[in-house]
Amino acid sequence: MATSSPFRTDKELYASAALVGPVMSRSAAQQITHWARIGRELEEGGAFSTEVAEVLAGARSYDDLTDREQAVVRAEWEVRIAERIATLDLASEFEAAGRPYSYLNSDGEIVTWRPDAAEPA
């Protein structure tokens, strides 16, 4: 008997699964599970070659890879970049360092935070 456990996924992946799943006679959750199994098999089956691993580790040139290997590297870079962006909190870092910074508010106006000001300018 299969067991399941809840997990979070990004909205874009879920939306894609919700579109593709019914075409393949699967729910969105079943489609995501299907894609995860394919990914696991690709990694175990050598799609994640030594050359790809070396590029991801910074020990080999991306340009030396085949088109397929480059596609695998780009997909992995995309995941790593998205994960890194999700963990960034530059406002807190700048504030802790006492450095000013600027950002766009919800109205699209430029707001500047300065360590010596009580309110953003």
With 0-12 CB in 10 A as exposed, 13-18 as middle and 19+ as buried, what is 12? exposed
Instruction: Please state the φ and ψ torsions of residue 4, each to the nearest 5 degrees.
Output: -135, 160
What is residue 72's predicted lDDT score, i.e. its pLDDT?
85
| Residue among 28, 37, 32, 64 nearest 49 (CA) | 64
Mean pLDDT of the chain: 85
Over residues 87-108, the pLDDT tens digits come to 999 999 999 999 999 999 999 9
The answer to whether 57 and 48 have CB atoms below 8 angstroms apart is no
Q: How far apart are CA 30 and CA 22, in angstroms?
A: 10
pTM of the model as a whole: 0.49
The answer to whether 103 and 94 have CB atoms below 8 angstroms apart is no
Query: Residue 104: beta bridge partners?
Result: 110
Q: Which residues contact 102 (CB under 8 A, 6 or more apart)?
A: 110, 111, 112, 113
Over residues 27-64, the pLDDT tens digits come to 998 888 888 877 776 666 665 678 888 998 999 999 99
Question: For the residues 14-20, what does the mean pLDDT come to?
Answer: 89
What is residue 98's predicted lDDT score, i.e. its pLDDT?
93
Q: Residue 12: is its pLDDT beyond 70?
A: yes
What is residue 30's predicted lDDT score, i.e. its pLDDT?
87
